[in-house]
Amino acid sequence: MSMKRFLAVLFALIVVSAVACGGGEKSSAKDDGADDGAEPAPAAATTAGTAPAPAAAAVAADAGNITGSVKLDGVAPKAASIQMSADPYCQSQHSAPVADEDVVVSPTGQLANVFVYIKDIKGTFPTPATDALIDQKGCQYHPHVQGIQVGQTLDIRNSDATLHNIHAMPTVNNQFNEGQPVQGMVSKKHFDKVEMTPFKMKCDVHGWMHSYMAVMPHPFYAVSAADGSFTIPNLPPGQYTLVAWHEKYGTQEQPITVGAKESKTVAFTFKG
């Protein structure tokens, strides 16, 4: 190869190499997010004048719990039998007479359906992601007493093949009265204000149907079971007032101190 031809080929190779390297740098600049003429992505916007929502209080690593029992001191009133003959469907759902649930006492005196809760506690607690449920089944409300947190979704279900309506009667939150004519239908409701004293919910179609519900700012509450027992878990250490409420026997309070990782046992006794 002549010297002139060699120099021409060498010059061509240098030009091709320079162009290739220049294209690679331009592509790399785009990949690294350098300005290529597009507007930069805006920062996350916040509503003017609105403070960010407070962070939810985490469960304390040294949380304790309260276990307890509720008893009735005295003779329990004889439970009245519910007359369901006005609606043949309701009557057909029960093979034996159904007792009213105003006072449910075990043979040894334990009292069920007592709503027990912490009255005073500081902090912000997350709204449960799971829905609460009240079911109309056998022409009765299930459960008879329950708590729900502020903002939590309440599912109201009609499991019966007959018309029900649910008439909520809170004193702080808005009341509502909604009919449910179709078996299996579910209505969803929310309560946006604290209402720790349970309020009545009833069915205007079936006068014997009623239940009670409280709206809580925190998850530290329970309802006594058929054996009178209850448990309030994951309670941060501190000094509190524990309240027990019953639809017929009223309200009791007692102070309680829960230490780090302590399991505290308490007892309530209502006079019959």
Q: 1 or 201: which carries more pLDDT confidence?
A: 201
- Mean pLDDT, to the nearest integer, of 199-219? 97
pTM of the model: 0.78
Q: How far apart are CA 215 and CA 195, in angstroms?
A: 5
The pLDDT value recorded for residue 59 is 65
From the list 219, 221, 172, the residue with the least C-alpha distance to 195 is 172
Class of domain 59-125+218-272: mainly beta
Say what the pLDDT of residue 239 is. 96
User: Residue 270: which pLDDT band, with cuts at 50, 70 and 90?
Assistant: very high
pLDDT at 85 over 90: yes
At 272 the pLDDT is 85
Q: Do domains 59-125+218-272 and 126-215 have the same CATH topology?
A: yes
The yes/no answer on whether domain 126-215 falls in CATH 3.20.20.70 is no
Residues 190, 153: Cα–Cα separation, whole Å: 5
Give the pLDDT confidence of 155-168 residue by residue, as tens digits: 999 999 999 999 99
Query: Is the preceding omega at residue 143 within 30 degrees of 0, hence cis?
Result: yes
> Which tokens hold the place of 156?
């109201």
Which strands make up the sheet holding 250-258, listed edge to edge? 221-223, 115-118, 238-246, 250-258
Going by their DSSP bridges, the two strands 145-149 and 210-216 should be labelled as parallel
Residue 60 — pLDDT band, cuts 50, 70, 90?
A: confident
- Model confidence at 33, in pLDDT bands (50, 70, 90)? very low
Domain boundaries, the chain: 59-125+218-272, 126-215
